[in-house]
Amino acid sequence: MKLGAVVAFWRAAGPALWFSKDDGFDRRHFVDGAVENGVAKFFYLPFAHSECFADQERSVAPTRRLGEPDLSHSLGHRDIVRGFGRFPHRNLILGRSKTHEEKRFIDNGGFRG
């Protein structure tokens, strides 16, 4: 699928669907490998930035096809969520307390956003 087809799809969907919540949308309208790599990242980023581990796994699988550096980035995000259940660098802005483990991770050069 070319970028023009993706843009046409979204234009046809219109604003009412752009912001609607539909958990099954990806399964019905997006097939891994259906768009070129440069555009594919756009589809995977929401999963990579989610604090839900299942979303992290969903992000890693297709980035294996994209290769480096995307794969390492996805694996790093997944490992942080696996270890902490969230992204510790978001704690301050979200008003969350940090655990001792999260503080140690960030103090030792862990991912800071």
Q: Does pLDDT of 69 surpass 60?
A: yes
- Cα 14 to Cα 5, 7, 32, 42: the distances in Å are 14, 11, 23, 18
Quote the CA–CA distance of 35 and 3 in Å, as a whole number.
Answer: 7
CATH number for the domain formed by residue range(s) 3-107 = 1.25.40.10
Between 28 and 34, name the one with better pLDDT.
34
pTM above 0.75, yes or no: no
Q: Does pLDDT of 94 surpass 90?
A: yes
Instruction: Give domain limits for the chain.
Output: 3-107
pLDDT grade for 13, boundaries at 50, 70 and 90: confident
Quote the CA–CA distance of 24 and 26 in Å, as a whole number.
Answer: 6
Q: Report the phi/psi class of residue 110: left, alpha or beta, with left for phi > 0 and alpha for psi in -120 to 50.
A: beta
DSSP letters, the chain, are --HHHHHHHHHHH-HHHHT---TTHHHHH--TTSS-HHHHHHHHHHHHT-S-HHHHHHHHHHHHHH-TTHHHHHHHHHHHHHHHSS-GGGHHHHTPPPPHHHHHHHHTT----
